[in-house]
Each structure stands twice: as C-alpha cells, then as structure tokens.
Structure 1
C-alpha cells in the first residue's frame, strides 16, 4: 500500500511539474508579445510627438500672422478716419470772418459762431457747424 500511495504522490508531482512547465513556456512567449506591443506603442507615441511638434509650429506661425493682421487692422482704421476727415474737409465751405475783436468768442468758439453767423447774415436759422477754429493774427513783419 505504501507503494501505491508513493506512486500516486509521484503522479501528482509529475502532473504539477508538467503544469509548471507549461506555465513557464507560456511565460516565455508572453515577453515576446509584450515587447512587440511596447514597440508598437513607442512607434505610435513617436508619431504623435511628431504631429504635436508640427501643430505647435503651425500655431506659432498663425499667432504671428494674427498679430500682423491686428496691427494692419489698426492702421486701416486710422487711415479710414483720416480719409473721412479729409473728405469732410474738402466738401465743406469754409468761411473766414475778419475784424472780430480778440477774445470776443469767450470759452466756446462753436457757440459763438452759431450765434454770430445769423446776426451777420440774413439767415433765419442757425447754420449747422461741424467745426470752428480761431486763427491767430498774421505777422505784420
């Protein structure tokens, strides 16, 4: 009976050794699979890095262009306002009044001109004034 128990124990040990051997063989194949997957992932990451670098460069270029466009837009707005002013000045009729005493206009030249023009002319209405300026007396030299 001891031989039979010994034989059964030996068979169990042999089965366990076979099972362990199969597991070890599976482990040997497993690192190869992991290595291939790791290499594939590294390749994907390198591709992503390349794409991100390209996108960063394009983004920098676009930001620089946006700054240039903003500057040009400001210049364009300035030039439009100058053009509007020049067109306005070229269309209006300028009137020069001579012989008005110094400081007669007070603090508000616009109001003075609006009230003086109807008195000097026979206008029944206050003419619309966009601008009124005081010029200095010319040099008598």
Structure 2
C-alpha cells in the first residue's frame, strides 16, 4: 500500500475477527509473498472455486501495482468470476483504495482481512 493512496470511506478495518482456516491460509500466503521478495506488502485472494492467488507489491519505473491489485488481476486472468475472501499483509493500518476497488470490481461482499507483517489481524473490511 502506498502512503499516497487514500482508503475509501469505510475501508478502515473493523475489529479483528476470528479467521476461518481458509482465511488464515490467505494471510499465510500473503506473508510469504511479501517476505519472498522483501516487498512493502503481500496479498492473497481465494476465488469461487477455492483457488488461491498470492502476490507482492511491484514498483518499477513503468509500473506500480499494489499486492492486492496484482492478486485480483491474477485471479481474473485465470477466469475467476467471484472472490470469496482476500487478505493483505502490510505495515499500514488501513486498506489502500486501489486494492479495495480491485476486490470490489469482482466481489461486492468478499471480506478483506488486513494483517500486520507478523500475521496479526488488524481488522476486516466488509464493504
């Protein structure tokens, strides 16, 4: 998440919920994607068929994309038509607007879990 991206209204995570095993797996995948390349953030999504897609943020001279945008793009490119859930691991305390919008492009109601780098759940965005 870049600091310049504003979180949309209501995108501050609600209190930390108890995660299902499947959603906890998304946090683990997001942490791994982030750590593998030393990225600012990592993200993972699960589609309607239970397939998961993990990604790290990318910052190149000609391309900047958040981890959540890239995870959603990977799912869409693989034919996903709906997301069941998403997770972002970041040092920020809010969800970035671009990642939030990418998830909502495919799923209006998928929970987006926001976690700290150590995996602690900071909260969940439901809107």
* Greater relative CO (CA pairs within 8 A, separation 6+): 2
TM-score range with shorter-chain normalisation? under 0.3
Give the structure-1-normalised TM-score: 0.23
Which structure has the highest helix share of the two? 1
Q: Which has the larger radius of gyration?
A: 1
